[in-house]
């Protein structure tokens, strides 16, 4: 039986952290599941790490469906969340529902949608029709051109209040999980304490309910400058399996992220 959102909620209630990694294929899916990862995110980050693109914007719905099927075939226990790619949910709630159904049919148990209060009606529409939603605020890569680059969000009093308000609205709209990316640790802690649903951080400090990293980043495979919130778990491991196990263990123990990974 696969991990459920109820099981994740119980982890939070028992003060246990949730470990999440991105995954795009069956081989890694099996490895990550066996290493104790709780949730696999089929991320549109595949545009960067698999396709060599500069952004996630060119990733298609067919890409996401294909990679979701691959991950689902390699697992039978973990919860699978799949990103809805750019342009697949922004037009209307009906469009989002149609495309989310295709992703769930491919093997995901939940879809992830980027955006704050503007996505509230869509999330409510989907959840009322049986589509579990993971919301995503802070740095939202699909809005990278509008945001002006990959930079810290919520670092002013006004922008912090907007993110806190967005988080509360998204929970009320039915989101089951909230991802927070590249925001100050103090803000992420405040948001986490203000919600009853699990929060998953990436560059959002150690007070979130869980953590996620891009698989290629935590294995030290990504090219270019390493983001501050990334740790190379291969540096002290003899195998990929050991590196992933160490990541899961450090997240569970509250050791990762450390102060050096926070903003």
Nearest CA to 248 out of 1, 24, 38, 13 is that of 38
Asked if residue 45 belongs to a known ligand binding site, the reply is: yes
Question: Is pLDDT above 90 for 1?
Answer: no
114 annotated as a binding-site residue: yes
The reported pLDDT for the residue numbered 80 is 98
Average pLDDT over every residue of 122-140 = 98
- 3-state SS string over the chain? CCCCHHHHHHHHHCCCCEEEEECCCHHHHHHHHHCCCCEEEECCCHHHHCCCCCCCCCCCHHHHHHHHHHHHHCCCCCEEEEECCCCCCCCCHHHHHHHHHHHHHCCCCEEEEECCHHHHHHHHHHHCCCCCEEEEEECCHHHHHHHCCCCCCCCCHHHHHHHHHHHHHHHHCCCCEEEEECCCHHHHHHHHHHCCCCEEEECCCCCCCEEEECHHHHCCCCCCCCCCCCCCCCCCCCCHHHHHHHHHHHHHCCCCCCHHHCC
Cα–Cα distance for residue pair 61/68, rounded to 1 Å: 10
pTM score, whole prediction? 0.97
Asked if 68 and 29 count as a contact pair (C-beta separation under 8 A), the reply is no
Whether the predicted pLDDT of 150 surpasses 90: no
Is 83 one of the annotated binding-site residues? yes
pLDDT above 90 for 169: yes
Q: pLDDT (tens digit, 9 = 90+) per residue, 93-122?
A: 999 999 999 999 999 999 999 999 999 999
* pLDDT greater at residue 222 or residue 64: 64
The alpha carbon of residue 237 and the mean position of all alpha carbons in its chain are separated, in whole angstroms, by: 24
Confidence band for 225, pLDDT divided at 50, 70 and 90? confident
Residue 177's domain spans which residues? 5-261
Active-site residues, by number, are 181
Q: Per the structure, how many domains does the chain have?
A: 1
CATH number of the structural domain spanning residue 60? 3.20.20.60
- Across residues 154-169, what is the average pLDDT? 97
pLDDT at 149 over 90: no
């Amino acid at each position: 039986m696969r991990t459920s959102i109820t099981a994740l909620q119980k982890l939070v209630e028992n003060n246990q952290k949730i470990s999440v990694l991105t995954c795009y294929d069956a081989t890694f899916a099996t490895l990550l599941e066996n290493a104790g990862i709780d949730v696999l995110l089929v991320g549109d980050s595949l545009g960067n790490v698999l396709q060599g693109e500069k952004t996630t914007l060119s990733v298609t719905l067919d890409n996401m469906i294909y990679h979701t099927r691959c991950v689902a075939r390699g697992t039978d226990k973990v919860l699978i969340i799949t990103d809805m790619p750019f342009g697949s949910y922004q037009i209307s709630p009906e469009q989002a529902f149609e495309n989310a159904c295709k992703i769930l049919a491919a093997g995901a148990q939940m879809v992830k949608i980027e955006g704050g209060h503007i996505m509230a009606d869509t999330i409510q529409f989907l959840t009322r029709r049986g589509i579990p939603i993971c919301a995503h605020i802070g740095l939202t890569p699909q809005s990278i051109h509008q945001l002006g680059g990959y930079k810290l969000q919520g670092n002013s009093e006004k922008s912090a209040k907007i993110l806190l308000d967005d988080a509360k609205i998204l929970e009320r709209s039915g989101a089951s999980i909230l991802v927070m990316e590249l925001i100050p640790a103090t803000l992420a802690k405040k948001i986490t304490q203000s919600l009853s649903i699990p929060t998953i951080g990436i560059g959002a400090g150690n007070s979130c309910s869980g953590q996620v990293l891009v698989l290629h980043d935590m294995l030290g495979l990504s090219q270019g400058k390493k983001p501050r919130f990334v740790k190379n778990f291969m540096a002290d491991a003899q195998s990929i399996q050991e590196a992933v196990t160490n990541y899961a263990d450090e997240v569970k123990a509250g050791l990762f992220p450390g102060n050096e990974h926070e903003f």
